[in-house]
Structure 1
Amino acid sequence: MGRASPLFLVLLGLGVFFATYNLVTLVIHHQRRERRAELPGVDPVTRMPDELRRTEGSRRPFHVVSITTCVLHAFLMWCQGYVVLNRPWAFVQWLEKATIKEEYILMAEPDHVFVRPLPNLAREDYPAGFPFFYIKPAEHSQIIRKFFPKEKGPVTNIDPIGNSPVIIKKSKLEKIAPTWMNISLKMKEDPETDKAFGWVLEMYAYAIASALHGVQHILRKDFMIQPPWDLKLDNTFIIHFTYGCDYTLKGELTYGKIGEWRFDKRSFLHGPPPRNLSLPPPGVPESVGLVPLDQREKREEEGEGGEEEKVDMDKVTLVKMVNEATANIPNWDDGR
């Protein structure tokens, strides 16, 4: 019954504006999707809404029960500038400190937004992960072999994933996490590996650590999309807004060049975004912009997809979802 098991959602934040407003957006939209799930087990990310409570007089309409973890040595973290090394170390500490009743854990990030209720995509001992196009173990086999010896099997045993989004049994993650941390540190200390993998080094470390423990993931392309490269929502569960979205006023992508219209989370590193961000111009893909009204009306008239599709018809842009989240938070513009 692994697919019906509830999940414990865990994500990491650095405690800065950049991470906080991302988290707020994720939480607001998770709660909305949960309310839409009428059938038991449709949205089993139970501990997240259960642990969020509206606090009187608070700027945010909830508080998040959190565990503070220690950062790695200052030299490692700031002199080398790779703050992501904190992630596996934080998971090791969290698994030691936290009381987790659920059997499965969903590892997500603050820049994930739920667009559909998320079922448990894992199957018993097989976790579910998202295949990243830029994680290519076979193309780096020489480097990989420094950390994944031949006796452990072919390099193709290593999944093209990172740790997020992943749904995994707690018992599996407890074994993988210390190995993930140690391999991340060894990779960072190795100049060749550090240069080859750069910012995604820790993602490779998670994939290798999983393979070392004989854990292979079910690869789910529908787990999430990443605009502006993914154009359609289709049946995805999560929007990951890691890339900047830059367009002309005609809806033409100008990636790498600041557009006449843009949404980039990095624009708000030092403070939260204002309410009522401008919506994208016509012609922008539905992963960033609204599904055109005439298309929605046509699909509704034709009765495509039944009740579940009608819920999904409220497909909104990433930016509109941010606006909806900030609109639900008292005193957002006050900066308190």
Structure 2
Amino acid sequence: MIVRKHMGRASPILLLLLAFGFFFATYNLLTMIIHNKASNLGSWVVDGVKRSGELNSKFHVALTATDAPYSQWQCRIMYYWYKKVKDMPGSDMGKFTRILHSGIPDKLMEEIPTFVVDPLPEGLDRGYVVLNRPWAFVQWLEKATIEEEYILMAEPDHIFVKPLPNLAHGIKPAGFPFFYIKPAEHEKVIRKFYPKESGPVTDIDPIGNSPVIIKKSLLEEIAPTWVNVSLRMKDDPETDKAFGWVLEMYAYAVASALHGVQHILRKDFMLQPPWDLEVGENIIIHYTYGCDYNLKVNMHLSLSLSVCVAYHRRPDCLTVIVSVTPCRGSRTYYLSIFYTKVLFT
């Protein structure tokens, strides 16, 4: 009886070892489950800048532009900042191309690396010049010699404030999640271009084509579909009304999903003042919105902003002309200024 009693009691050391063993087994099991779930997610939302880990991770910086003075001015600023950060530690930035879809060379050809492509046939864009963007990329990808395996699709109103690593992972591109791109809220319209057999609407990422870092071979597949979806959306009155000025962004998101491509969503890819008030860890400033200040120096969004900016021969010698406009029916005055003077100092 005494022997049996002692045999039925476990020593404290044994219990401790069993507890540790159970803990590590449970930890490893949960880690495997979480890792497996993450690998099966269509879109990852990621914070914090990390490299892709690719051996040849350099990406070509490409933006589409016109020969209009405002577009030229933006391109000069964008190219200036590209050169400032390109060779900094942590950068995977390769060569630069301004894809000029005006059809003829302009005066910036010798200043900025430029590839001239044709615009859409007259009248096909219906006054929505952004429709030329996907068509410009198709032509550039077909005709240009591009050394890098990846491409960053950027825009003239982007300013690099930090060196940009390759945020893509293999064939999985990286994009920025826009708060106003909401495919699920437009399912009725989306289904005209993304049928049910293609998958749930939630497979469509809340992105535009820019900023996106994507493998060149993958973009070569998506770009023609992007053109076709853009034109079809513009030709459909209901879709045109629903999407408005972001129609081409929805077209890229749908075209990507049609090819089974989903993006790693990088919130740190870009900031958009006045919605974002600090640079923080973000890499690109997107100055698409007007930033106004009232007499109390509170910044807010203006839908009717008048900014007058002149530049000299060098883009780092900007003269900023401040416009002060009274707001109708109130004592608020809008002080319209621009970022670039501060950023160039």
TM-score bin, normalised by smaller chain? 0.7 to 0.9
1:12 pairs with 2:64: yes
Aligned to 2:193: 147
Cα distance change, pair 94–115 in 1 and its aligned pair in 2 (3 A): same
- Cα RMSD for the two superposed structures: 2.9
Shift of 1:269: 10
1:244 pairs with 2:290: yes
- Give 2:278's match in structure 1, choosing from 196, 211, 232: 232
Tell me the matched-pair count. 270
The superposition leaves residues 117-139 of structure 1 with CA deviations (integer Å, 9 ceiling, x where unpaired) of 00000000110000000000000
The superposition leaves residues 30-65 of structure 1 with CA deviations (integer Å, 9 ceiling, x where unpaired) of 222235x2x4xx21212139xxxxxxxxx9796222
Shift of 1:257: 6.8
Q: Aligned partners of 1:177, 1:198: CA distance in 2, in Å? A: 21
Shift of 1:270: 12
Q: Aligned partners of 2:247, 2:61: CA distance in 1, in Å? A: 23
Cα distance change, pair 151–257 in 1 and its aligned pair in 2 (3 A): closer
Cα distance change, pair 168–250 in 1 and its aligned pair in 2 (3 A): same
Q: What secondary structure sits across from 2:299 in the alignment?
A: coil
1:24 pairs with 2:67: no
1:320 pairs with 2:342: yes
The superposition leaves residues 273-326 of structure 1 with CA deviations (integer Å, 9 ceiling, x where unpaired) of 98232699xxxxxxx99xxxxxxxxxxxxxxxxxxxxxxxxxxx54412x55xx
Shift of 1:255: 3.1
The superposition leaves residues 53-95 of structure 1 with CA deviations (integer Å, 9 ceiling, x where unpaired) of xxxxxx9796222221111122123xx3111110011111111
Q: Aligned partners of 1:97, 1:62: CA distance in 2, in Å? A: 20
Following superposition of structure 1 onto structure 2, how do residues 187-206 of structure 1 map, counting pairs within 5 Å? 187-206=233-252
Following superposition of structure 1 onto structure 2, how do residues 252-331 of structure 1 map, counting pairs within 5 Å? 252-256=298-302, 264=307, 267=308, 275-277=318-320, 317-321=339-343, 323-324=344-345
Following superposition of structure 1 onto structure 2, how do residues 155-174 of structure 1 map, counting pairs within 5 Å? 155-174=201-220
Shift of 1:178: 0.2
Q: Aligned partners of 1:128, 1:235: CA distance in 2, in Å? A: 16
| Residues 203 and 257, structure 2, Cα contact 8 Å, conserved in 1 | yes
Letter in 1 for 2:202: T
Aligned to 1:119: 165
Cα distance change, pair 268–76 in 1 and its aligned pair in 2 (3 A): farther
| Residues 43 and 117, structure 1, Cα contact 8 Å, conserved in 2 | yes
Q: Aligned partners of 1:256, 1:101: CA distance in 2, in Å? A: 42
| Residues 239 and 318, structure 1, Cα contact 8 Å, conserved in 2 | no
Aligned to 2:176: 130
| Residues 86 and 94, structure 2, Cα contact 8 Å, conserved in 1 | no
Cα distance change, pair 90–269 in 1 and its aligned pair in 2 (3 A): farther
The superposition leaves residues 227-258 of structure 1 with CA deviations (integer Å, 9 ceiling, x where unpaired) of 11111111000000001111124312353377
Q: Aligned partners of 2:251, 2:83: CA distance in 1, in Å? A: 32
Letter in 1 for 2:79: V
- TM-score normalized with structure 2 length: 0.72
Q: Gapped runs of 5+ residues in structure 1?
A: 50-58, 281-287, 290-316, 325-336
Q: Aligned partners of 1:25, 1:197: CA distance in 2, in Å? A: 29
Identity %: 54
Letter in 2 for 1:27: Y
- Give 1:69's match in structure 2, choosing from 117, 120, 128: 117
